Amino acid sequence: MEHQPAFDTIRQTLIYLTVAGLVIPLLGRWRISNVLGFLVAGMALGPYGLGSLAHKHGWLEPIVFTKLKGVQSLAELGVIFLLFMIGLELSLDKLWALRKWVFGAGLAQVLTCSAAIGGIALFYGNDWQASLVLGLALSLSSTAVVMQVLAEQGNSASPMGRHAFALLLFQDLAVVPLLIVVSVLIGESQQPVWQQWLEPLTITVALCSGVLVTGRWLVRPLFKIVAFGRTPESFMALSLLIVVGTATLTQLAGLSPALGAFLAGLVIAETEYRHEVEINIEPFKGLLMGLFFMSVGMAVDLGHLHKQLWPILYSVFGLFLIKGLLIAAIFRLMGRPSGEAIQAGITLGQGGEFAFLAVGAATMGGVLEQHVSQFMLIVVSVSLLVTPLFALLASRFLRKQEQPATSTEDATLPDLTDHVLIAGFGRVGEILGSTLSAANVPYIAFDRSATTVSTKRSRHCQLYVGDVRHPDLLRLAHADRATAIVLTMDKPDDTLHTLQVLRSQLPQTPIFARARDRKHARELQQAGATAAIPEALEAGLQLTGMVLSEIGVTDESCVKLLDQQRHARSHRP
C-alpha cells in the first residue's frame, strides 16, 4: 500500500496521455476543438462523472479520475506556461504599442463589468461584500481558454485577437488587487485599509521592475553560454529554469506565478533566442494546457448541474450577455468595426480561471455562502465549456456577413493538384498570380480582405476570401497536394505566424515567403521557410541589371554578377 500514491500518479498520467495522444486527434478528424475535447473528457472521466461510479464498479477505477487535487496542482503549470508564451510573443515594444488598449480599454472593461455583475448580485439579495467579490471575480475572462480558441481559429495575430489579448492582459494584472480586496473583506489583516493596499502594490511594482531590468542584462549572457556549449538539453533546462524560477519568485512575493512567467517571456522576447526557446517550451505548454482544461471539466458537478439546470443555464447566458454587450460597446468606442466588437464580446464573455481562486478564498473566509459559491463555480465552469462553441459560431456568422457575394463559391473550391497556393493578394501576390497564369501553372489565391477580393476577382478568377491559417481552408484548397505555397502578406508578424501554422500542418510542402528585410528573412527561414526574399533585394538587383546593360556589360556577365550578389546577400548574417 505504501506505493499506492505513486501508482495513482502513474495511472492518472496514463489516462491523460491516452486522452491527449489518441482521443483528441480522433476528435480533430471530426473538427472538434481541442479545448472542447479536453473539457468534455474531464467531465466524463472526472470525480463527478464516471469517477463517481468507481466505488460501485471496480473495473472503472483504472480509467477514471477519482480526485482533483493532484491534477489541479499540475494543471496550474499549464496556465504558467501559457502566460510565458504570451509574453514571449508580445515583447515590451508591442506591449507599449497596446498601452491604450491594456490600460484604457482593459480598465474600462473590468470596472463596467464588475459594476454591472455586482449590481445584479446585490439585487438578488447578496450583501455588498459578496456582491463586490462576485462582480470583480466574474469580470475576468479566461486567458487560457480564449488564447487557445484564438490560436485554433488562426485569430491570435488578427486585430481582434491582439485587442482581446490586451484586455486579458489587464485582467491578469487585476488579479493582484482582486485578491487584496478578498483579503481585506475577510479581515485577514489588522492593518488599516490603505496599508493593506499600499504594501502589495509596492511589492508588485518593485518586483516587476526588478525582473525586467535585471533580466535584460542577465538572460542574454546565460543563453549565450549555453548556446556556445551546443547541448540541447542544457538549453531546455535553462529555459525551464527561467520560466519556473521567475514564477516561483513572484509567488513567494505573494503575487500570481503566472505574472512572473509573463515577465520572463517579455525579457526573453527582447533577445535573439526567443524562437529557439519557443520551440523548446511549446510541447510542455500544449500538454499542460490540455491538463488544465481537463481539470476544469472535472470540477463541474454534474449532479448539481442537473438539479439546477435552468438557473445555471440562465446565469451562463446572462454572464455572456452582460459582458458581451459591455465589451462590444468598449470596442466600438475605441473605433473598432461592429463585427470585431461583437466577436470580441462573445469570445471574452465567459468567467475565468482566477474566479475559482477568488470565490474559493471568499468562501473560506465567510464572505460567500457555500451554496452561492458552488453555484457560481459551476456557472464559471459551464461558461468555459461553451466558449469554444460560442466563439466558433460567432466567427462563422461574422465571416459570412462580411464576405462579398462571390464568397458563396468558396465552399466549392476547384479540385486542383500540383498547384501553387498564394496567401495574400496585394501587389506582390497579383504579380505572381499573373505570371503563373501566363505560364499555364494552376494556382489558387486567398486574401483576408473582402474589398481586395471584390476589386481583383474579375481579373483573377481563382481568388477567394479566406485565411490560410484555418485547417478547414487548407483542406478545401487541397494544400497537401500543392507544389508550393507562397506568402506575400504585407505585415511581417502575419507572415511569420502564418508560416508557423502552415509548417506545423504541412511539414514537407515548400513554402516561400516575402520578407520585410534581411532580419525578417532570417526569422522566416528559422521558422521553416524554404526561402524568404527581402522586398528590397530583387528590386535592387533589377535596377543594377538595367544599369549594367546600359553601360555595356554583356547579358551573360550581367546574369552571373546578379546571381553572385543574390547568393551573397541571401546568406549574409
Per-residue pLDDT tens digits for 524-561: 888 888 888 887 666 666 666 667 676 777 777 777 77
Task: At 261, list the grid cell.
Answer: 512567467
- Measured between alpha carbons, how far is 102 from 437 in angstroms, rounded to an integer? 46
What pLDDT, on a 0 to 100 scale, did the predictor assign at position 543?
66
**Residues pairing with 422 in the sheet:** 445, 486
What pLDDT, on a 0 to 100 scale, did the predictor assign at position 314?
93
Nearest Cα to Cα of residue 200 among 370, 208, 94: 208
Nearest Cα to Cα of residue 452 among 441, 463, 443: 463
Q: Which amino acid is at 249?
A: L
What pLDDT, on a 0 to 100 scale, did the predictor assign at position 567?
65
Q: What is the Rg, in whole angstroms, of the alpha carbon atoms belonging to the chain?
A: 26
- For residue range 553-569, what is the model confidence (pLDDT) as tens digits? 777 777 777 677 666 65
Q: What is the DSSP string of 266-321?
A: HHHHTSTTHHHHHHHHHHHHHHHHHHHHHHHHHT--HHHHHHTHHHHHHHHHHHHH
Query: Which are the contacts of 333, defined by CB distance < 8 A and separation ≥ 6?
Result: none
Residue 337, SS3 per DSSP: coil
Ranges under pLDDT 70 in the chain: 1-7, 28, 31-33, 69-75, 90-95, 154, 157, 176, 183, 186-197, 200, 227-230, 285, 399-412, 450-451, 458, 536-546, 548, 550, 562, 565-573
On whether the CB atoms of residues 438 and 445 are closer than 8 A, the answer is no
Sheet holding 484-487, edge to edge: 463-465, 443-447, 420-423, 484-487, 511-515, 531-534
- Measured between alpha carbons, how far is 328 from 348 in angstroms, rounded to an integer? 10
Q: Write down the residue that cell numbers 524560477 correspond to.
A: 245
What is the model's pTM? 0.62
